[in-house]
Amino acid sequence: MYRYFPNADALLIASAMRAVDGFIDQVVEHVRGLNDPVTAIVESVSFGIDNLAGDPQLENLLTRRHEGEAATSLTSDTAITICLSTFHRFDVDWRLHGFDTTALSELAEMTLRTVQSILTDPVQPPREGIELRRFITRWLGPAILYPRMMSLVSAAP
């Protein structure tokens, strides 16, 4: 096993990612037809949180720590790569909305950080439904709009 994975966390992350492969298909299907990046990201994050909250395997993966080590992060290079490949399956024209490769990678990281934070340390009682969507829109929405705003400003005479 260690010939293929550098450590136990890498193996656990790879195993978890493989397990959620079908879930990623569900996320993509859930946002099919949404071409606005804010709506697509808010819906995908909300859908993920709604369906993953309380999953004991995921909670164990994200919260367990070995002595002196940090908790497993959803922002590993592997997780960001999978998130990016998921974004590319959305019906969003990322370039039209000002996203270059760097901006899209940063959005993937911020999206994963948001999901991890909400799953591992939810407010009590946890936000659900429209309340969760409003919260995510309020705080992630402006960040998603930023690349488009900057591309319009730089294109202005």
pLDDT of residue 19: 65
- What does the mean pLDDT of the chain come to? 85
* Cα–Cα distance for residue pair 3/11, rounded to 1 Å: 11
* Cα–Cα distance for residue pair 44/1, rounded to 1 Å: 33
Identify which has the larger pLDDT, 1 or 72.
72
Percent with pLDDT over 90 in the chain: 55
Q: Residues 42-90: pLDDT tens digits?
A: 999 999 999 888 776 666 666 665 566 655 567 788 889 989 999 999 9
Q: What angle do CA 150, 84, 93 make, to 5 degrees?
A: 50
Does pLDDT of 6 surpass 80?
no
Give me the mean pLDDT over the 121-130 stretch. 92
What is the residue-wise DSSP string for 61-72?
A: HHH---TT-PPP
pLDDT of residue 151: 83
Q: How many helices (H) and strands (E) does the chain have?
A: 7, 0
* CA distances from residue 99 to 81, 96, 104, 129, 147 in whole angstroms, order as listed: 16, 7, 6, 28, 6
Identify which has the larger pLDDT, 53 or 118.
118
Does pLDDT of 129 surpass 70?
yes
Identify which has the larger pLDDT, 76 or 105.
105
Does pLDDT of 101 surpass 70?
yes
pLDDT of residue 98: 94
* Cα–Cα distance for residue pair 24/112, rounded to 1 Å: 13
Question: Under 8 Å CB-to-CB from 149, ≥6 apart: which residues?
Answer: 98
Are 92 and 34 within 8 A, CB to CB?
A: yes
